[in-house]
Structure formats: structure tokens, C-alpha cells
A = this chain, B = another copy of it.
Amino acid sequence: MDPEFATLDRWWRAANYLSVGQIYLMDNPLLREPLREEHVKPRLLGHWGTTPGLNFVYAHLNRAIMARQQRMIFVTGPGHGGPGVVASSYLEGTYSEVYPNVGLDERGLHRLFTQFSFPGGIPSHAAPETPGSIHEGGELGYALSHAYGAAFDNPDLVVAAVVGDGEAETGPLATSWHSTKFVDPRRDGAVLPVLHLNGYKIANPTVLARIPEEELTSLMRGYGHAPYVVSGSDPAQMHADFSGALASCLDEIADIQGEARASSAPVPRRPWPMIVLRSPKGWTGPKEVDGLKVEGYWRSHQVPFANARSDKGHRKVLEEWLRSYDPDDLFDQTGAPAADVAALHPEGDLRMSASPRANGGLLLRDLRMPDFRDYAVTVDKPGTGSAEATRVLGHFLRDVMAENMETFRLFSPDENSSNRLQDVMEVTDRTWNAEVLEYDDHLAPDGRIMEILSEHTCQGWLEGYLLTGRHGLFSCYEAFIHLVDSMFNQHAKWLESTRRIPWRRPVASLNYLLTSHVWRQDHNGFSHQDPGFIDHVVNKKATVVRVYLPPDANTLLSVGDHCLRTKHYVNVIVAGKQPAVQYLSMEDAIVHCTKGVGIWDWASNDADGEPDVVMACAGDVPTMETLAAVQLLREELPDLRVRVVNVVDLMRLQPEKEHSHGLSDADFDALFTRDRPVIFAYHGYPALIHRLTYRRTNHVNIHVRGYKEEGTTTTPFDMTVLNEVDRFHLAMDVIDRVPRLHATSGAARERFKNALIRHRQYVRTVGEDLPEIREWEWTGA
């Protein structure tokens, strides 16, 4: 072997040894005695196949970092290769710094091995517990979008992202290659993808490993890359080839960035370098076990052979495998890595495992915030006027953007303007580094509004951006946010896990603005109607999720301001974008949002005692329908005492012991009474309100209306009628639920019913809503 690579190779062997040790060993970590049954873990849980490749790449990156003093972080697409990244961070000393119990000696090694994938120990993946990780890779597909998120606005950073060839088959990964058209060589860092073709997934070959090389490189060029292919299994040759390719890549990155940064004019987009690394799955592991192929085959994916504890033959294979790395040569008498190996890593923050970029909370600074009250809509009288709530928020976001031009971005799947946030374009552009035509507007490489028609990529970019210490907001059509249900799961779990890890610092919250919501998808129809993301979100830990339904512009401003200031949550905001009546002045909105739920006195007439009925509402359209119903009831049944309760912060409905925002039972009862009927008009699927309130005293009397999967292409009001959450149905519900009205209010009920019939006739003939509904305003009473 070229002496240049001799120590590097020893580091690699050490990392591989440590990886196998983690997967298999309970004791005898340095093999200072023959391997016995009791040295092997009783349950073997971990993934070997991808690990030697990860270790190989990591070692070479370290060499390059040292040579160039280049800041880098490492994104482990095949995150199940946890043993590898743990091993590397241990060799770098970082592991012992954050976990002093796992020291660089035999005792530390013993603990390193036993804790791995062991009850009370650490997970088997590149989990939050792993220093240097911003990417668990438990669910595959997001390595590149996370990597780009990390690279944005980090001009001195190179993010090395290993993409597994299994992962490369996922949709989100397949499109995230196109991030090449959204990265600015002048202002952003770079991503260096390493597509690791080890040929197999769990049980099948991988697609990209089994197409002709020309087809593969054609694909990569099509994605905007200039690929280097490094292929083989002989370590000496592979060290030479990979280090050469890596040096070329880093030179090219520097050249692309240098050219862009030297010029004040835009420079044409150039292909970014990337590496295709073709190496055997389970490289350096046993070639065969029990006569069956293991190295270079899917059998090495997880634990290559399972009976090393009880089966003598398997134990012999394991011992030979471990000794093939020559531990006596790699570790000194105390069990510490040999001095030359231990020296082969960058210092301090330059270690990828110790980069503050990979523990973003360390770098997080609060946003500089304009005063949201300055953007208020004037509301002289509740239930009047007209404003597009998200457009008003857009004014505010424009100035948030202007004051935070290096740490704040907006993300949207081609819906930023459709969602009415276009005013932000007064201070920045849409990010775009592909071709621009003369009549295009607001496209620029350094734009900060990130639009690609891929919710997955938007979410992945944003996650990477947040996890490296910055801020952002994702606006999306409500129905299609379900595309990232699973990504949300992973991020929420990451937040929950890191809450429990002292050295991880809180990051900025992930803020969703869901608009173009179910009640305003009358034009796109049934396929665009689904308010269930909220249900999905509340299945996650109450410690990390919050849901807000501001009913108008000023409440949206207040909620938006709050969410942008919070840390370590997922905030879901559902708000309207269509012109709508406004309810609260800024002052009232602040009070209401601070309480999260409250009685609207101006719409209630129960001041002199208990109400006959509580009309509760959450969401802009249900709120309007509720108030319209109250108005109808006021006209028809003036003696009826109605209390209107509006809910902004949905988590207030939960018991206080289940969510920190939860109302006490006494407070809940004070609002919703202990025994009066509650007609609750809710934005989403009705079951959620029952779920949140089922432990409350008055639950049995809560009657919820919401979306029940009735919808088509129709008018806005007709959407509410189809789902029986319209004013007439709500008013009839009141009559049906307040016993003393049963006998006396038949005529009123009949008039509500007739109004519905009149509506249906009108809308089917004229094609739009009745004028009195289109132009409805609260008249009080």
C-alpha cells in the first residue's frame, strides 16, 4: 500500500473493528483473550453492510479536511450504518467528550460495545444520540435535501452526503438531486454527494447498481452533476482512487464557488462534482458463512451471521473477522487508539462529529422581529370588513425576511404566491439557478423563497436548515401536506429525542402555514379536501407539537409572531387566504391568542347567567358560520342565551396533564359549562374534538360538526352545507339540542331548513352563493 495511505488504512480498519465490536461484543473488547460465548451479545441488532463504506468515506473526508482546513459535516443517508458513524466519532474523541463514560480506553471500549443497540444504551442508527448527526436515516430518502438545507447560507461549508443505493430508489431522494438548481455558489455552501453503490438492499439488488455505467453517469449528468466513479474492492487501489476523486471534487467546488464569488454578475450554472463509490456490501467482512456468499451480497445487510454466541463455528468466523483488523496493532495497551491513528483527525470544531453546524441549537440566534402589531388590519366592529389573512401575514413576513437575510427562508411547493405570501418578493426573490428568460420575474440564485413542486424537498430543505441553526416557514396547501406525514413523524421524533439529550441544544421550531384549506377547495374539488394533518400531528408527543387555528388576520399575525419565536416545536397554523370578514382588533387579538381560547362577549348574550347553549368554533370558516348561526338565532329566538367560544390554540382543549397548553378542568368548565349543550363547529374531522375533550366534565354534551368527506367542485358555502357545518345546520343543531326549544321552535327550524333548500336551488342554477351569504357581516343584535 502506498505509504501515504497506510495510517488512513489503519484508521479505517480501527473504525471497522469498532463497528463489528459494537454489533457483536459484550465483553473482551480488545480480544485479549480467546472469544468465548459470554463475550457475544445474546441479541444481535445492527447493520454491517453499509458500515465499512461509510467508514471509508469518513476517513478520506477527514484526511481532506486536515489537508485543506475545510469545514464539513457528514450526512449519513444509510443511517442504519450507526456503528460506523459512532465508531468514527469515537476515534475523533468527540464521543468521549459528550459521553465521558465512554472514554478512550479499554473500559470505554467495553461500554461503547455493550451500549450499542442494547436496552438502556443507544439506538443502532445514526440517531440524535450520535454526535455530528443531523440525519437519522431511519426512514430513507432525505439525505440530499437535508444536506442542501444545511448548506444554504453556509458559504464556507461542504456537506458530504452519502446516498445509499437503496435510498436512491425513493421518490424524495430521486427528485432531491435537482437541488443543484437551487444552490447559489456565491452565498451557499456546497453539497458533495457520494452515491454509495454497494449493490444490495435488504434482500434485493439495487436499481442503480444494475444499470450500465453509462446509463448511471448519464442520469447523474442529467441531474446537474459531473460524476467521478470509484469502483473496486482492493483497499490500496481504492484509497488511491477515492482520494484522487475527492481531491478533484473539492477543487472543483472551490473553483465553482471561486468563480461565482469573484464576479458580481451571475455566472452560468456549472455541473457540481459528485462521486459514485462502488464497493462491496459488507466490505472486509466474511466472504462466506456456512457456504453462503456474504461479502458483496445482501446477506451482509444486517448481522451477517446470527449464532456467534451459541454456535462455535460462527464464533470462530467472528473472531477471525475481528482479528483480521489486527486490534493489537490499532489500540495501545490501555485500549486507546494507537497514537498515529488517533492523530488522524481534524482538531476541535473541524471534526465532523463536533461541528456546531450539526448541533444547530449552539448557533441558533433569535430572529430580529419587527413589531407584528404594525401590520394589523383595522377592525372597527367585529364581524365586518374584509382581509386576506395570509396576505396580511405576508406583509409581516416580508419584514421578518428583510431583517434576517442570512438566517430565514420560506419554503413552498410552487404555492408561495397562491398562498398570498407574494409581498415577500419585495425584499427577496425565488431561489433559482437554472435558466432565466427575459419575462421571468423574481428569480435569482440568492433568492430566499424556495419553491420546487416537491413537498418532500421543501420539508427536507427546511429540516436541514433548522437543524443547522436557522429559521423558516413552510406554506402548503392543507390537503397535500399529508405528503410529508412520514417526514413530520421523523422530525417530531428527532425533536423529542433531542429534548432528552443534554448536549443537544434546542433548534428553531418547524412552522407550517396550511392554507388553501379544505373549506376553500371548492374549486379544485374532492381530491384537494383533507384537513387530517392535524390529527396526524397530535399523535406525536405533546412536548413538541402545537396547533393553531387563527380565525382572522390579526389573530394570524399574533400566532405567526409567536411561532417564529418558539423553539423545538412543530407549529401547525391553519389559516385562510381568501377575503373574509374580520373579528378582532389587534389588541383583542393579542388577548385572545394569549389565552388561546375565550368567550367572545360581543357575540354572546349570556352575560346575566349560564347560557342555554355554547356555540364553539375553531377555524376561520367554522367561526364565520357559527357567528352567522348566532345571528340567525338572535333574529328567530331572541330569548335564547348563546355563548360563543372561539378556539385558536387547539391544544387548550386537552387536559393540562396531557399537554402543557391544556386548560385546567375548572377553566374548561367555566368556558364550556358543566352541562349545557355545546355545538362545536370545527375546521377538520369532528372526531379530533372528541378526542381532545373526552375527559372533560361536559364531554357528553359536545356535538361537533366538521369535515366529513363530503365535497366536490362547488361554491364555498355549499362546501359547508354538504358537510352540515353551515349556519343553518348549526342553528338547527341548537334547536335540536336545547330541550326547551323543541316544542316552541318548530317554525324557526322550518325556516332554517327552507333557507337550505333555497340555497341549493340557487347555487345549482346560478353557480355562486346567495348574495346574503357572499356578503355576510355580523350585525350584532
Contact = CB atoms under 8 A, between A and B. Distances in A.
Contacts of A514: none
Most chain B Cβ neighbours within 10 Å, of A123, A540, A690: A123
Interface in A97-150: 114, 117-125, 127, 136, 138-141
A497 B526 contact: yes
Interface in A488-526: 489-490, 493, 496-497, 522-526
Contact of A117 (B224, B479, B483, B523): B523
B493 A489 contact: no
A467 to B, nearest CB: 15
Interface stretch (A209-217, A369-377, A558-566, A631-639): A209-217
A222 B454 CA distance: 21
B171 A141 contact: yes
A575 B535 CA distance: 24
A166 B414 contact: yes
A712 interface: yes
B201 A414 contact: yes
A354 to B, nearest CB: 24
Contact of A414 (B174, B203, B496, B541): B203
Contact of A480 (B125, B217, B486, B530): B486
A412 to B, nearest CB: 10
Nearest to A208: B178
Contacts of A443: 204-205
A745 interface: no
A138 B528 contact: yes
A713 B453 contact: no
Interface in A467-495: 479-480, 482-483, 485-486, 489-490, 493
B768 A43 contact: yes
A512 to B, nearest CB: 15
A452 interface: yes
Interface in A186-229: 201-207, 210-212, 215-224
Contact of A211 (B207, B215, B224, B454): B224
B432 A205 contact: yes
A222 B224 contact: no
Interface stretch (A320-328, A341-349, A434-442, A606-614): A434-442
Nearest to A79: B527
Contacts of A120: 714, 763-764
A400 interface: no
Interface string A407-421: 000000011111000
A535 B2 CA distance: 59
A176 interface: yes
A293 B440 CA distance: 10
Nearest to A45: B523
A756 B493 CA distance: 26
A385 interface: no
Interface in A742-766: 763-764, 766
A171 B166 contact: no
Nearest to A457: B171
Interface in A77-113: 80
A153 interface: no
A75 to B, nearest CB: 15
Contacts of A125: 524-525, 527
Nearest to A521: B138
Contacts of A201: 414, 453
A453 B166 contact: yes
Contact of A204 (B121, B173, B430, B763): B430
Most chain B Cβ neighbours within 10 Å, of A171, A219, A414, A764: A171
Given A43-B767, A417-B202, A453-B169, A124 B713 contact: yes
A117 B434 contact: no
A42 interface: yes
Stoichiometry, as copies per complex, reads 2
A715 interface: yes
B524 A532 contact: no
B171 A713 contact: no
Nearest to A766: B42
A660 interface: no
Contacts of A176: 171
Given A178-B169, A767-B119, A532 B536 contact: yes
A480 B139 contact: yes
A539 interface: yes
A440 B205 contact: yes
Given A171-B171, A434-B207, A713-B123, A479 B489 contact: yes
Given A482-B489, A489-B530, A526-B497, A416 B175 contact: no
A237 interface: no
Contacts of A45: 522-523, 713
Contacts of A169: 175, 178, 452-454, 457
Contacts of A496: 709
A90 B468 CA distance: 55
Interface string A292-305: 01000100000000
Contacts of A524: 80, 124-125, 138
A485 to B, nearest CB: 4
Given A171-B170, A691-B687, A117 B768 contact: no
A52 interface: no
B417 A203 contact: yes
A167 interface: yes
A536 B203 CA distance: 30
B541 A434 contact: no
Interface in A211-255: 211-212, 215-224
Contacts of A219: 218-219, 221-223
A233 to B, nearest CB: 15
Interface in A684-724: 685, 687, 690-691, 694, 699, 709, 712-715, 718
Contacts of A540: 709
Contacts of A440: 205
Contact of A535 (B172, B536, B768): B536
A293 B523 CA distance: 24
A741 to B, nearest CB: 23
A777 interface: no
A687 B694 CA distance: 10
Contacts of A737: none
A577 interface: no
Given A171-B175, A482-B485, A525 B202 contact: no
Contacts of A119: 713-715, 718, 763-764, 767
27 contacts: A117-B713, A118-B767, A119-B767, A120-B764, A123-B713, A127-B525, A127-B526, A138-B527, A139-B480, A169-B175, A169-B453, A169-B454, A170-B175, A170-B453, A171-B171, A171-B175, A174-B175, A175-B175, A203-B414, A203-B451, A204-B432, A205-B435, A205-B436, A218-B221, A218-B222, A490-B527, A694-B694
Given A216-B222, A219-B222, 15 more contacts: A26-B767, A42-B767, A119-B714, A123-B527, A123-B712, A124-B523, A139-B528, A169-B454, A174-B175, A201-B453, A202-B415, A483-B485, A535-B535, A539-B709, A690-B694
The 3 A-B residue pairs with the shortest CB-CB distance, nearest first, are A219-B222, A138-B527, A171-B171
